Amino acid sequence: MKRRFDDYERLARGLFGVSSFWLGPHDLLYVRGTGVLLPFVEEYLRFETARIQSVAIVRTRTGMVLNLIFGAPAVALGVAGALALRQAGAAVGDAVFLFYALAVPALGLAAVCLVLLVINLVLGPTCRFQIQTATRVARVRPLSRLRPARRVLAQLAPVLTAAQAGGPEGPEGPEGPEGSERLGGASGLAVTEPPGL
């Protein structure tokens, strides 16, 4: 999958590239793919940068659960395989074949679990990345790991602040100028809270 197309820059991509998240000149584009291994249908969710109300991240326990799911069998099968291998060395006759027949599959499965565990540990803790607009609250699935999610949030925050402080669209509606003034005060990173929040 390309890193950029037209004016869009890729921020994140999901497993096998089924879903992806892009930053455009005026919007964030979430390509939500549904399918098996490859996307059969792609849906496009666009979030206009001037209309985004909030972005939030929360750490989840999915990564820890995955560590347990991969780690426990890796340890158990590894120990069982090692014990069987050790017994095979001391056994005589047909028992040697039996112990090897137990040890080899156990160690193979343990190795697979270990690889998955290492991959999960390298990817880091999991999280939920959420974007809120006036009409929807959407979860961005490609950003399911905490480190890339924080990096993207740090990248997005100044872009969204600039867009809302009088970007290309500018304020609209009867509440526009007032909102713009209020936002202008707030965009200087002052910790002020609007009445609605």
Partner 1 sequence: MVPCPLCSAPLTFPVGGPVLAVRCPGCRREVTGVAWLARDRGAGRIVRPAVVVDGGAGCFSCPERAATGVCAGCGSYTCPGCEAEWFGEHLCLRCLHARREVIEAPRFRRRTRVHDNIALMLLVLPLLFIPFYGIFLAMLASPVVLFLVIRHRHAPRGLPPRGPFRWWLAGGLAGLLLLLGVAGIGAVVYSVMAISGRATEVVVEVPPPADGEASGAGVDEVAVDGESMAGEEER
* Nearest residue (CB) to partner 1, 97 versus 178: 178
149, 139 Cβ separation under 8 angstroms: no
State in angstroms the smallest separation of the CB of 45 from partner 1: 9
* Nearest residue (CB) to partner 1, 122 versus 154: 154
* Nearest residue (CB) to partner 1, 16 versus 97: 16
CA atoms within 13 A on the CB side of 97: 2
Which pair of structure tokens corresponds to residue 127?
């999280």
**Strand stretches in the chain, DSSP E:** 4-5, 8-13, 20-23, 27-36, 38-48, 54-59, 127-132, 137-139
State in angstroms the smallest separation of the CB of 105 from partner 1: 17
State in angstroms the smallest separation of the CB of 33 from partner 1: 8
* Nearest residue (CB) to partner 1, 92 versus 134: 134
State in angstroms the smallest separation of the CB of 66 from partner 1: 17
How many C-beta atoms lie closer than 10 Å to residue 179's C-beta? 15
- Provide the greatest CA pair distance for the chain: 91
